[in-house]
Amino acid sequence: MEHTKRYQLPEEEIPRQWYNIQAEMPNKPMPLLNPATREPMRPEDLYPVFAEELCRQELNQTDAWIDIPEEVREKYKFYRSTPLVRAYGLEKALGTPAHIYFKNESVSPMGSHKLNSAIPQAYYCKQEGVENVTTETGAGQWGASLAYAASMFGLNAAVYQVKISYEQKPYRKSIMQVFGAQVTPSPSMSTRAGKDIITRDPNHQGSLGTAISEAIELAQTTPHCKYTLGSVLSHVTLHQTVIGLEAEKQMAMAGEYPDIVIACFGGGSNFGGLAFPFMRHNFTGERNTRFIAAEPDSCPKLTRGVFRYDFGDETGYTPLLPMFTLGHNFKPANIHAGGLRYHGAGVIVSQLIKDGYMEGMDIPQLESFEAGTLFARTEGIIPAPESCHAIAATIREAKKCIETGEEKVILFNLSGHGLIDMASYDKFIAGDLQNYTLTDEAIRKNLES
């Protein structure tokens, strides 16, 4: 019998609405707070920083379905739908009875899922008369996606890139520049926040936290300029639900439904994007899927962080967010999965963890690259270092099925390819990578500081 490898949806099946899980969560996320007054933020309070429609989406807890503008769907057609793939090669290499599927977001022109939110964010900015957009980027995936989307809609983009990544991943900067963006390593001397950070620590390697501070400051001091964020916030995850909505239809084509859904976790957007459309069936009791967010063990906010109000950035420019956090001044080790080096989790995911709808799983750096290498050799795609975490978690679960003999259906997100991250693979092959497992003491000290 011939086996289907890839499940493809025709263009007209690209979703017409995003799924807003906030409307259907049994316990809604707690409000974002104004740090000065401790009052809950209203959409209007966020207008100075983000496009207004994005502010309304951020705090929308009533509409479960939000229309995708036709212009956004037109741009999605450049690369969507993305394939759902059965990982027969990986299954065979592991000798597992599990059925492993992955949603391949690496086929986007920028190589990751980030474009799914960059396109609507640039679109709403353009609609509202904004001319300039700023942002931060870690590995450069978000910066590249925003640069691409900004160029599609005729906006200028200024990107602060985490210094360590700027140095480790030079080609991402080139990609951003091809699309006309201005790229600055962070911390930099171009903002007050950057100057303060460099004064305190001249050797600061940068983090998403420092870059966010700089990008927000630039947006607030430049006319007709808005800030955009590629993860963490609820509107970003909303846009990413195109992943899970497509996957749901594609799993049905395969005649299966996932027992376990897995994605890597930085701020939660690719995880939520894949997981939330499936999770809605857990809320109604119709399904009992397990949801696993794979995070680096050097940045374990989901499993070892605390739930409390904290800032989203290093300097404290953002509202206070109710989230699992390692402390906003946490400095993650210089692991190669740049997109996972963030101290906190989004407010939706944080509430879902509290309520037991999902769990975190910590993956050491070496295990992630071992998993990514096996995946490349069996499925023919070199995964992004971030995505390697999801693959490692998938392999752990698939190996459990060998012991129990269960034919579990596992679905994971291939959030991006690693073809621009080969410097990281070089280090892995040369034996120059290490693990950075944290002690309880180190975590506690940071939280108390």
Ligand X SMILES: *Cc1c(COP(=O)(O)O)cnc(C)c1O
Question: Per rule CB under 6 A, is residue 339 in the interface with ligand X?
Answer: yes
Give the range of 32-40, 261-269, 306-314, 359-367 binding ligand X by CB under 6 A.
261-269
Contacts of 74 (CB under 8 A, 6+ apart): none
Instruction: State which residue, 137 or 315, has the beta carbon closest to ligand X.
Output: 137
Q: Compute the distance between CA of residue 86 and CA of residue 101 in angstroms, rounded to an integer.
A: 4
Nearest approach, Cβ of 385 to ligand X (angstroms)?
A: 8
Instruction: State which residue, 174 or 404, has the beta carbon closest to ligand X.
Output: 174
Question: Per rule CB under 6 A, is residue 332 in the interface with ligand X?
Answer: no
The one among 20, 132, 228, 270 contacting ligand X by CB under 6 A: 270
Question: Per rule CB under 6 A, is residue 120 in the interface with ligand X?
Answer: no
Question: Per rule CB under 6 A, is residue 31 in the interface with ligand X?
Answer: no
Interacting positions 220-259 with ligand X (CB under 6 A): 231
Question: Per rule CB under 6 A, is residue 415 in the interface with ligand X?
Answer: yes
**Cβ distance 319 to 386 under 8 Å?**
no
Question: Per rule CB under 6 A, is residue 168 in the interface with ligand X?
Answer: no
Give the range of 122-130, 199-207, 269-277, 436-444 binding ligand X by CB under 6 A.
269-277
DSSP string computed for 403-441: HH----EEEEEE-BB-TT-HHHHHHHHTT-----PPPHH
Instruction: State which residue, 7 or 271, has the beta carbon closest to ligand X.
Output: 271
Question: Per rule CB under 6 A, is residue 112 in the interface with ligand X?
Answer: yes
Instruction: State which residue, 267 or 277, has the beta carbon closest to ligand X.
Output: 267
Picking from 208, 213, 188, the residue whose alpha carbon sits closest to that of residue 198 is 188
Instruction: State which residue, 68 or 236, has the beta carbon closest to ligand X.
Output: 236
The one among 116, 269, 289, 350 contacting ligand X by CB under 6 A: 269
Instruction: State which residue, 401 or 411, has the beta carbon closest to ligand X.
Output: 411
Question: Per rule CB under 6 A, is residue 136 in the interface with ligand X?
Answer: no
Question: Per rule CB under 6 A, is residue 296 in the interface with ligand X?
Answer: no
**Cβ distance 417 to 109 under 8 Å?**
no
Q: Backbone phi, then psi, for 256, in 5-degree steps?
A: -135, 165
Question: Per rule CB under 6 A, is residue 336 in the interface with ligand X?
Answer: no
Nearest approach, Cβ of 125 to ligand X (angstroms)?
A: 20
Question: Per rule CB under 6 A, is residue 394 in the interface with ligand X?
Answer: no
Q: Compute the distance between CA of residue 387 and CA of residue 419 in angstroms, rounded to an integer.
A: 12
Instruction: State which residue, 305 or 339, has the beta carbon closest to ligand X.
Output: 339
- β-partners of residue 292 are 262, 359
Nearest approach, Cβ of 231 to ligand X (angstroms)?
A: 3
Q: Compute the distance between CA of residue 314 and CA of residue 204 in angstroms, rounded to an integer.
A: 12
- Name the E strands within 53-188: 65-67, 84-86, 99-104, 132-137, 156-162, 182-186
Question: Per rule CB under 6 A, is residue 267 in the interface with ligand X?
Answer: yes
Sole residue written with tokens 């980027």:
137
Residue 408: Cβ within 10 Å count: 18
Nearest approach, Cβ of 293 to ligand X (angstroms)?
A: 8
CA 303, 105, 206, 195 torsion-angle sign: negative
Instruction: State which residue, 181 or 384, has the beta carbon closest to ligand X.
Output: 384
Question: Per rule CB under 6 A, is residue 141 in the interface with ligand X?
Answer: yes
- Please work out the total of residues on this chain that contact ligand X, with binding judged by CB under 6 A: 21
Question: Per rule CB under 6 A, is residue 114 in the interface with ligand X?
Answer: yes
Residue 39: Cβ within 10 Å count: 10
Picking from 232, 229, 261, 268, the residue whose alpha carbon sits closest to that of residue 244 is 261
Residues in the chain: 449
Q: Compute the distance between CA of residue 38 and CA of residue 230 in angstroms, rounded to an integer.
A: 26
Nearest approach, Cβ of 332 to ligand X (angstroms)?
A: 13
Q: Which residues bind ligand X (CB under 6 A)?
A: 112, 114, 139, 141-142, 231, 264-271, 339-340, 384, 386-387, 415-416
